[in-house]
Structure 1
Amino acid sequence: MRRDLGRRIYGYLVSAAFALFLFSPILWTLSTSLKQPTEMFQWPPVIVGEPSAQHYTAIIADKDFSSALINSIVVSCSTIILTMALSIPAAFGISHLQKTAMRRLLTLVLALRAAPAMIYIIPYFLFFRQVHLVDTKIALIIVNTMFAVPLAIWYLSAFFDQVPREIEEAAMIDGASTLQTMTLISIPIAKSGIMATAILIFIGSWNEFLFALT
């Protein structure tokens, strides 16, 4: 009994130390953001100094930052919506193909994403200049979506593969159409994978600067 308790305590201590190691950069960043300017570059470093919110106040008061933050939120959320609207039906269809055809199509989809983003800058710029969308959020949403769709299809098709075919077949026997089977059966079962994919798309869109600064 004591041995089991000791192992449990040891496991908790190791887990806590590992978690502290993983979160230490975030904690250090938070601590630095609350320091006075004179304390930020002090040596030896001050872990907990006199808390100050002046950096957050300056950022909130900056109109350019507020505008940039809103633009990032709008672009990222719009990219998620558009990407999911295109990727979910495509991934559902691919997952129901034969294995050979599915693998070939998935390889083609992923190959479209393998090319470096740099080679697309000039073609996209010329295209958006022709349609008068240069330096607009719509253009950025389209670009982000075009890069996100191949990866989203790749991820989602794997999640749809995990949906039991027996459940889908039972729904179709009961009279459900393919669209109803996808929306009422497959999507709810694969919702955790869909949410994970949406988070990855949001992060990728949020961190995209190459086209945003072009």
Structure 2
Amino acid sequence: MLVALLPGDGIGPEVITQARRVLDALAIDGLTFEEALVGGAAYKATGHPLPPETLGLAKRADAILFGAVGDPDCDALERHLRPEQAILGLRKELSLFANLRPATLFPELADASALRPEVASQIDMVIVRELNGDVYFGEKGMRKTADGKREGYDIMSYNEDEVRRIARVGFETAMARGKKLCSVDKANVLETSQLWRDVVIETHAEYPQVAL
């Protein structure tokens, strides 16, 4: 199994170094590593936040350990050259549309929570976030209004296939847990959210065991 190590910027190299130590300690047979530049570090070395060599490694790898991207030195760059574009590029090129974020409380940290321990100790959920649609990937730009004022715009859009695939990830995740799924939208205001709600309800028919 090939693991791509993409340390990136800021705390990224430190995090990846420690993650590598953990994997080395596990001594998993057949585990190999290759490292590549990404983010601001990649831009400074190659002129692009996601060089072809890095993308090629990511496509060959069985898994990716990604550190962090972001560099104040790059804030004045054109948007397509900024470090954060490496994340969007990887998501798009590898079709990484589902982000799973488990949330639970370790007993040792109960007293550190802003919630009462008896409340915080009950937290056990997985947040499923869609990554390949919405305003991140829609048309965007700067323009002038009729009276000459600067105006920024970001177009939000989803098609039903994009919604259905993330809905299925949510339902499958729920099936492996408590069989409860909460879909969050703003259907009373946004057409994209109305489509989201409609498609999630349609997909629910495939998972009657789950409470939506």
Q: Report the TM-score, using the length of structure 2 for normalisation.
A: 0.21
Higher relative contact order (CA 8 A, sep 6+): 1
Who wins on radius of gyration, i.e. which is larger?
A: 1
